[in-house]
């Protein structure tokens, strides 16, 4: 493990979030990519500062984050003439 003189770093916090959120296979994939980035693998981005990586990350998050439909109200209307439900008011 890395030296513990700096306390809990953002990197350590990130690993904790990943460990709590991902299964073991996905956790290994993400940590291997992080290790590769640390060691200079570019994954198609420039080796110097490239803000496009953060823009791409935000876009992918927006596309793939599950939508939560909490507290939505759906109004239903009965359509048709007569029948046993004709007198029900919504």
pLDDT in tens, 43-78: 888 877 778 878 888 888 888 887 776 666 767 776
Task: List all residues 6 or more positions away from 36 whose beta carbon is below 8 Å from its beta carbon.
Answer: 43
- Secondary structure element (H or E) that encloses residue 23, with its range: none
d(CA 67, CA 62): 10
Q: Which of the 8 DSSP states describes residue 38?
A: H
d(CA 32, CA 36): 6
- The rounded percent of the chain whose pLDDT value lies above 70 is 72
pTM listed for this prediction: 0.59
């Amino acid at each position: 493990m890395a030296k513990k003189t700096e306390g809990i770093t953002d990197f350590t916090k990130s690993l904790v979030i990943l460990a709590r959120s991902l299964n073991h296979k996905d956790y290994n994939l993400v940590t291997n990519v992080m290790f590769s980035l640390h060691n200079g693998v570019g994954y198609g981005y420039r080796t110097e500062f490239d803000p496009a990586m953060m823009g791409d990350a935000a876009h992918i998050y927006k596309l793939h984050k599950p939508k939560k439909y909490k507290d939505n109200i759906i109004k239903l209307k009965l359509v048709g003439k007569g029948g046993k439900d004709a007198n029900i008011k919504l």
